[in-house]
Structure 1
Amino acid sequence: MSGSARQPPAWWYDGSTPPLHARLASGLFSVLASSRRALFRKGWRRRVRVGAPVVVIGNLTAGGTGKTPLAIALVERLAAAGRKPGVVSRGYGRADESKPVWVERDTDAAVAGDEPVLIARRCGIPVRVDRDRVAGARALVAAGCDVVVCDDGLQHYRLARDVEVEVIDGARRYGNARLLPAGPMREPPERGAECDFRVVNGGDTGFGEWPMRLHSDQVQPLLGGRARPLAGFAGQRVHAVAGIGNPERFFAMLRGHGIAVVPHAFPDHHRYVAEDFSFGSDLPVLMTEKDAVKCAAFATERYFRVPVTAELPEAFWIALLDRLHKPGR
């Protein structure tokens, strides 16, 4: 596997004991995280409402779990139900995270972050990136949005929320269930029980969990043009590029379509340059949509993005929309 991906420590997921320094740091992290939660739960720090219902989609672990595809699917459902959704995000990976930005379809991912640009292109709705998610949500409401979807932000307690959705990687789950850096957890596993909905991306679901599948059946040339069936690459070797929280999920999806993958994993939110694609052969290059928004400037006709769609049971959408449609929301 080429690329410069920073892989999580082996002990997060292989059952081995984390080193002493990681366990000590994890204990300190636990004290700080629990103290911060207590400040909001006891009312010593104020949660702020923004004048519209807020849905937070997030995860308890470090790394990607499939939050953004779910956020896109939720926005599409809300729009179809007659609501006017907007998305607020911190915009991880952008050059200046201190500057709030309205995200348009053609906004540079270096300015707004890759996930907000992807959402703006897929959904065509107001998207605001702001390190202060309360300020970002207020800007969306002032712009006419009647529902705010927060892409990531379970730990951003200052923003009051009406619905919390936890997304879990079905393959990795919680790993060793230890807090950072001894394990992948940003908060203790029991925090998930407080969320209104728990969505599992792939793998088996447990009691009270909803299954989600990321489906893809076509590819889109980065230089524009007609979409092609993903099945058309079956039996071929391709360079597969993924700069996401769990690149192996993307590679496995392509292999499931019978594609011979030459994997290239990069760090999450990686800022690509043309030299990153000096792979030594002229095979087709298939990449995630999140990566594609950063590669158009140097793409060739060999570069394709692979859109994914989050598929969940209809009962999930009925339950979530019913929660939002209750009086006062």
Structure 2
Amino acid sequence: MAFTDRLLDAWYNGHPALVLLRPLECLYRRVVNRKRARFLAGQGDIYKAPVPVVVVGNITVGGTGKTPLILWMIDHCRARGLRIGVVSRGYGAKPPSLPWRVLPQQTAEHAGDEPLLIVNRTGVPLMIDPDRSQAVRALLAEEPLDLILSDDGLQHYRLNRDLELVLIDAVRGLGNRRCLPAGPLREPVERLRSVDALLYNGAGADREDGFGFQLKPSALVNLVTGERRPVDHFPRGQQVHAVAGIGNPQRFFNTLEGLHWRPVPHAFADHAVFSAQALSFTPALPLVMTEKDAVKCASFAAPDWWYLTVEAVPSPAFVIWFDSQLTRLLP
């Protein structure tokens, strides 16, 4: 087990050695609390965009389903006639310059895997820059927009925000509820009291403190031909190589098991860089990966490689609540 996997296991399942990290956690908490206090006091270089900004983020390390929810929000807002833009840090991207406008058919090396996925799926105007305020400025200079979604960036306080949505894995929760490096939290758990809404990925129903949403598999897409097949394309009991380089690979493997396939799991680090050699497995079986991983593998894919598309399905109560917020923000 790699060090990061052992650390994640300790955060979520407990380990006595974590007590040794408490002094570093105290220092970390002090830094992030001071950073937020400066934001609340209006100190520092804080950019307020001329259009509403909605941050979709989390306070835990690892994936919580932000990208599928953002895809849903793009479609939902467009159905209301709104012009939507997205900004992202572009984790792992190495663009020729910053800020960088992500366009279809760019490489994940330049654009980042998640931004490229979003643009390929929706064609939405999207700008990446670690300084998200700079990304917003650049995007508004190029596009007339009504609303901007920030993919992550909850802790990026240089960008003012009008709405904060925090996603939480309904199964893993907040782990031991401690901050880095003694736990998985980017900010203290008290931070959740100040956000506008909590969404629990994988919850079958709304909770007292937040809304539920689920990720529903929708199609299999062939990496070579682009052919789309229904999720019952493989028969029950089909064995497949399952590849996931995401924040929580087990969630993907569980999804494949829920489709009644027999995945042979191959977990990689989040945002991993792939090669044909790294994905050469035995025995010879169909290979199924996440859509996020597929944008990095299309150039060397084999004919029997597929990716699974998933759609976010938020609860009806969240849809009503979100529409009320849009009405408030965009009178």
Could you tell me which of 277, 283, 286 is aligned with 1:284? 286
Asked if 1:260 is matched to 2:251, the reply is: no
TM-score, normalisation: structure 1: 0.95
Alignment of 1:152-171 (within 5 A): 152-171=152-171
Q: Alignment partner of 2:16: what SS? A: coil
Q: Which residue of 1 aligns with 2:239?
A: 237
Q: Report the counterpart of residue 223 of structure 1 in structure 2.
A: 224
Letter in 2 for 1:121: N
C-alpha displacement of 1:98: 6.6
Cα displacement (A) at 1:281: 2.1
Find the counterpart in structure 2 of residue 295 from structure 1.
297
When normalised by structure 2's length, the TM-score is: 0.94
How far did 1:184 drift?
0.2
Shift, 1:131, TM fit: 1.2
The answer (yes or no) to whether the contact 2:211–2:317 under 8 Å persists in 1 is no
The answer to whether the Cα contact below 8 Å between 1:52 and 1:147 also exists between their aligned partners in 2 is yes
| Residue equivalent to 2:150 | 150
Q: 1:256 to 1:43 in 2, by over 3 A?
A: same
Mark the CA change 1:63 to 1:116 in structure 2 (over 3 Å): closer, same or farther.
same
Shift in Å, 1:137? 1.0
> Displacement, 1:8?
5.1
Give the equivalent residue in structure 2 for 1:180.
180
Question: Which amino acid is 2:92 matched to?
Answer: G
Which residue identity is paired with 1:186? R
Shift of 1:218: 2.0
Q: CA deviation at 1:17?
A: 3.0
Alignment match, 2:307 = 305
The separation in 1 between residues aligned to 2:5 and 2:293, in whole angstroms, is 18
Distance in 2, Cα, partners of 1:97 & 1:170? 38
Structure 2 unaligned segments of length 5 or more: list them.
none
Q: Is the 8 A contact 2:237 2:262 kept in 1?
A: yes
Q: CA 1:240/1:27 → structure 2, altered by over 3 Å: closer, same or farther? A: same
In 1, the alpha carbon distance for the partners of 2:329 and 2:55 equals 19
Give the CA deviation at 1:217: 3.5
CA distance in 2, matches of 1:321, 1:8: 41
- SS of structure 1 residue aligned to 2:215: strand
Aligned residues: percent identity?
A: 43
Equivalent-residue separation in structure 1 for 2:278 and 2:229 (angstroms): 25
Range with greater deviation from structure 2 (223-232 or 170-179)? 223-232
Paired residues of 1:52 and 1:141 also in contact (CA < 8 A): no
CA 1:20 to 1:312, structure 2 compared with 1: closer, same or farther past 3 Å? closer
Q: What amino acid is aligned across from residue 170 of structure 1 in structure 2? A: A
Matched position secondary structure for 2:213: strand
Structure 1 segment 1-329 matched on structure 2, within 5 A: 6-7=4-5, 9=7, 10-96=9-95, 99-142=98-141, 143-203=143-203, 205-233=206-234, 234-326=236-328
Cα deviation, residue 280, structure 1: 2.1
Residue ranges of structure 1 left out of the alignment (5+ in a row): none
Aligned residues: 327
194 and 293 in structure 1: CA distance in 2 versus 1, 3 angstrom threshold: same
Distance 1:318 1:141, change over 3 A: farther
SS at match of 2:63: coil
1:312 aligned partner, one-letter code: P
CA-based RMSD of the aligned residues comes to 1.8
**How far, CA to CA, are the matches of 2:4 and 2:266 in structure 1?**
12
State the shift of 1:96 in Å: 5.0
Contact preservation (8 Å) 1:165, 1:195: yes
Structure 1 position 40, deviation (Å): 1.0
| Residues 91, 97 of structure 1: 8 Å contact kept | no
User: Partner letter of residue 307 of structure 1?
Assistant: T
Letter in 2 for 1:22: L
Deviates more, 1:121-130 or 1:35-44: 35-44
Q: Is the 8 A contact 1:5 1:266 kept in 2?
A: no
Given residue 298 of structure 1, which amino acid in structure 2 is its aligned partner?
F
